[in-house]
Amino acid sequence: MPMIVKLVGSVLVVLACTAMGFSLVRREQERYRSIEELCLFLMELARLIRFSLEPLPSLLAHLAEDENAPARPFAEKLKELLDEKKSQPFRVLWQEAAEAYVTTYHLPAAVKSLFNTLGSRLGQADSDIEADRLARGAEEIRQLLEAMKKDSAQKEKNTKTLGALLGVLIVIMLL
């Protein structure tokens, strides 16, 4: 009986550690999806600025209300801040919303910096220049994402393997 308990416990430890490795990989993939959504959000905002005559706050409100909008949590937070703190400069509100989004989805510092730079310049030029800036910013973020994905393929495999090996090591130490 004690041997069966040890065997079942060992299997459970190995499975738990393997699941932990897969969980870390899934979290990293969610991070990539968040960055992709950020790129799509910037492209959509650029499109709306280019082809709409509405002011920027109403365009952001439109994106916040759209169920299928990319990076909707960011748009909702920015709309909420625009409604609450009308006296604050747009740049400050953008940075506050960006900080909340970046913190929630654990985005890298390079993406945060690019995103804040875009927000600090938004609303200072005509619509064509704004749309071009947003499109270029989205492209830069996409390039950062591609570089991150290129480096992560081997890391994902190593993380999964490390989880399983950690489980085996713990079992060996317990037996």
What are the pLDDT digits (tens) for 34-65?
889 889 888 988 898 888 888 888 888 888 88
> What is the pLDDT at residue 139?
92
Task: Name residues of the chain where pLDDT drops below 70.
Answer: 1
Three-state DSSP at 69 gives coil
Name the phi and psi angles at 67, rounded to 5. -60, -35
pTM: 0.78
> What is the pLDDT at residue 10?
79
Residues 6+ apart with CB under 8 A from 71: 34, 37, 38, 40, 41, 101
